[in-house]
Amino acid sequence: MRAFSVVFRSIRDFYEEMFLLVSLSIVWWVPVIAITVLVLPLARSLPSWLVGAAVAVLAVLLAPLTTGLCQIGYRIAYELRVDSSFFKESVREFFWPSVKLGLLNVVILVTIIVNLLFYARFPGTLRLITILWIYVLIMWGAAQLYLFPLLIEQQEPRVLMAVRNAAVLVLTRPLFTLIVLLLAFILTALCTVLPVLLILIWPGLMALISTRALAVILEEARAMAPQDQHRDDGDGNDEGEE
């Protein structure tokens, strides 16, 4: 039920901060529109690798803007004051870590897809390795939920640490993660029915869902920590009495 609460509260948060999040969602789409305008008319005449490179560049350019949206989502999740200045400050402060994370994200995704296509060509037993890479692709897709919010949570943003922790969260909270992703996918599908919703709502809403999902997991972890500490102290006292 926590997964449903994450999504419903994110929708409520978007409604309460609609004017800010709609404007920032439009800003997020600016690189997408720019790259599309430049590449789409030439897409048929350009080699496929160049089109793929343009998509990769776009993913890297979107990374700082995604981090900025996640900063807004972070502040909303923890009931802090929000305005556009926090978005600008976050884009500036996390620019290079975000770019590195976006680039690493592209490299990992390309590596997974290349291996998936490579092993899919083989017949027989060797082709079963494709199943492993499909699983890795699903897990990496699920990790996208936590990547950029984890960058915000760190006192010193470290890309590899964010990637590692995102993978750990997916493996340790698989049901919660998959339910949140399923609900996010349903909302994405609803937004694509009306493209204007995709532009005005989707980026901000996805950032809210991601940051609130991470906040729920961290809150549960922090709630468990004092109990574990108390249990350890109790064990220590018992040993002392013996």
pLDDT tens figures, 153-176: 988 889 999 999 999 999 999 999
Buried b (16+ CB within 10 A) or exposed e, 146-161: bbbbbbbbeeebbbee
More confident residue, 51 or 229: 51
* pTM for the full predicted model: 0.87
What pLDDT does residue 232 have? 53
Buried b (16+ CB within 10 A) or exposed e, 70-103: bbbbbbbbeeeebeeebbeebbebbeebbbbbbb
What pLDDT does residue 66 have? 96
pLDDT exceeds cutoff 90 at 57: no
DSSP summary character for residue 154: -
pLDDT exceeds cutoff 90 at 236: no
H runs (alpha helix) in 44-128: 48-77, 84-93, 95-120
pLDDT exceeds cutoff 60 at 235: no
Q: Specify the amino acid at residue 91.
A: V
In total, the chain counts a number of residues equal to: 242
Residue ranges per domain, the chain?
2-221
What pLDDT does residue 183 have? 96
What pLDDT does residue 241 have? 41
State the average pLDDT for the chain: 88
pLDDT tens figures, 181-232: 999 999 999 999 988 999 999 999 999 999 999 999 999 888 887 655 545 5
What pLDDT does residue 185 have? 95
Give dist(CA 241, CA 227) in Å, integer: 21
Measure CA of the first residue to CA of the last residue in the chain; give whole Å: 44
**Which whole number is the average pLDDT over 19-36?**
93
| High-pLDDT (> 90) share of the chain, % | 67
Cα 136 to Cα 127, 133, 211: the distances in Å are: 15, 5, 23
Q: For 78, how many CA atoms within 13 A lie in the half-sphere containing its CB? A: 14
pLDDT tens figures, 130-155: 889 999 999 999 999 999 999 999 88
H runs (alpha helix) in the chain: 2-16, 18-39, 48-77, 84-93, 95-120, 129-143, 147-153, 159-172, 174-193, 195-200, 202-241
**Which whole number is the average pLDDT over 110-117?**
91
**Which whole number is the average pLDDT over 28-54?**
81
pLDDT exceeds cutoff 60 at 237: no
- The tokens 């083989």 sit on which residue? 122
What pLDDT does residue 119 have? 86
What pLDDT does residue 75 have? 95
